[in-house]
Amino acid sequence: MKYYLIAGEASGDMHGSNLMRELMITDTEAQFRFWGGDRMAELGGKPVMHIKDLSFMGFWEVLMNIRTILGYLKFCETDLLQFKPDVLILIDYPGFNLRMAEFARKNNIRVVYYISPQIWAWKQSRITKIKENVDKMLVILPFEKEFYGKFGVEVEFVGHPLLDAIDKYRSSSASQSFLQTSGLSGKPIIALLPGSRKQEICSNLKTMAALAKDFPDYQFVVAAVNEHTECFYSKLLGKSEIKVVFGQTYHLLAVSMAAIVASGTATLETALFQVPQVVCYKVSPISYFIARKLVKVRYISLVNLILNRPLVVELIQANFNSRHLKSELSEILCNLDYRQQMIDGYRGLIQLLGSKGASRNAANVIKDFLS
C-alpha cells in the first residue's frame, strides 16, 4: 500500500513515526510519502516538507503567513495527486489537514484522521467537514468518543500513543550518564519546556528563564527541539547560565524535580513521568482576544482536560508572569503534601488513558479499513 501522511508539528512527528513503524509491520510492502520531522524521516527518508517550516500558531500569526500557507496547500495537492496513495493519513494539524481531507475526497482518495483536532475545545463547526470528508477517525483521548457520538459520528478510541513512547523509552538502554554528558551539576533540576514552535518558544522562554535567579539551589534546564538552532535559544536566554539540551526531553524529565511547561502535548508527557508541573500559555493579544470568544473548555492543559478538574495550575496570558510562577513553583518544591496530591492525580490520569499499544491499534484499524 502507498501511504501519504501529513504531520505539522513535533508531537505529530512523534506519533507519525510510531504509526509508520507499526504500518511497516502490518504491511511489509508499505510505501510512504510524508510531511513531518526528523523522527518520521528516520523511517521514511526525506520529508516532502519539514515541520520546522509549518509551525504557525495563533489567529494573528496564521493571518500574517496566509500566503505561505496557501502556497503549501497548493503544493501538497499537486504532490498528493502525483503520488496517488491508497490512503491519506492526517495527524492533528487541523487548519491544514481538514482542507487536504476535502481535496482528497473530491479526488477519490480515502482519508484516515489519526489524532482528532480539538473541536471539543473550539470550532465545533469543523465536525461537519469531518463527517463529509473523513472516512475513518481515530481518537486518542477517552472523552472524544462520547463527544463525537453526540453528533452522530462513529470514531474509534485506540488509546494514547504517549503511553507507548514513554514505555519504549523506559525499556530501552536510556542513557544513565545524561547528567554528565549534558554538563549538568548535582543540583536538583527544574525542567523548562517552552514548546516546539518558534512563536511559542519566543513567547514563553524568557519568562520561564527569569525565574532561575529566585531559585539558586536548583539548576534550570531547557528542553530544546532539534528543529531550532543553539543560537536561537541563546538569544532568548541572553547572559543566563541556563543549560540547553537538544532532543532529550525524556532524559530531562526522568531526572527533574519539577517542570514549567507550555500548554500542549508536553503537559501530558510531564505527567506521565510523574513530574509536578505548572502550565503556561501565552499568545499575541489579538489571538488571545479571539480565543476567549471561541474556546469552549474550562482548561487548557491535557492533564486537567482529561481529568476534568484543575490538578495542575494554568497560568494564562497576563497571569503568566514571574510573580505567579515563583509562587506556584515554590509550592511545588516545598509543600510535600501538594506534590503528592499532584502525583496521585497523575496516577488517576494514566488509568483514564487506557492500555498501551495505541500505535499498533491504529495501524490494525487502518489495515482493516483498507482491506
CA distance 60 to 327: 31
* Percent composition of the chain: helix, strand, coil (DSSP 3-state, to 5): 50, 15, 30
Greatest extent of the chain over all pairs of C-alpha atoms, in Å: 61
The per-residue pLDDT for range 248-259, each reduced to its tens digit, is 999 999 999 999
Name the helix (H) or strand (E) containing 8.
none
Q: What is the pTM of this model?
A: 0.81
Query: Which is more confidently placed, 9 or 346?
Result: 346
Q: Residues 147, 44: contact at Cβ < 8 Å?
A: no
The per-residue pLDDT for range 266-314, each reduced to its tens digit, is 999 999 999 999 999 887 676 666 666 556 668 889 999 999 999 999 9
Query: Buried b vs exposed e over 22-46: b needs ≥16 C-beta within 10 Å?
Result: bbbeebeebebbbbbbbbbeebbee
Query: Which is more confidently placed, 369 or 93?
Result: 369
Q: Which residue intervals of the chain bear CATH 3.40.50.2000?
A: 2-160+355-370, 168-352
The per-residue pLDDT for range 103-118, each reduced to its tens digit, is 999 999 999 999 988 8
Q: Residues 97, 9: contact at Cβ < 8 Å?
A: no
CA distance 130 to 136: 9
Nearest to 55 by CA among 19, 14, 95: 95
Nearest to 139 by CA among 151, 122, 156, 125: 156
**pLDDT at position 16:** 95
**pLDDT at position 26:** 95
Can you read off the three cell numbers belonging to residue 362? 491504529
**pLDDT at position 60:** 45
**pLDDT at position 213:** 95
The per-residue pLDDT for range 4-38, each reduced to its tens digit, is 999 988 889 989 999 999 999 999 999 999 999 99
Span 168-352: which CATH code? Answer: 3.40.50.2000
The per-residue pLDDT for range 47-78, each reduced to its tens digit, is 999 988 776 545 545 555 667 778 889 999 99
Task: Dihedral sign for Cα 343, 249, 52, 89, please.
Answer: negative
Looking at domain 2-160+355-370, what is its CATH homologous superfamily? Answer: Glycogen Phosphorylase B; (3.40.50.2000)
> Among 160-174, 207-221, 320-334, which stretch is predicted with the lowest mean pLDDT?
160-174
Rounded to an integer, the average pLDDT of 358-365 is 96
CA distance 303 to 294: 21
Can you read off the three cell numbers belonging to residue 222? 531547557
**pLDDT at position 63:** 56
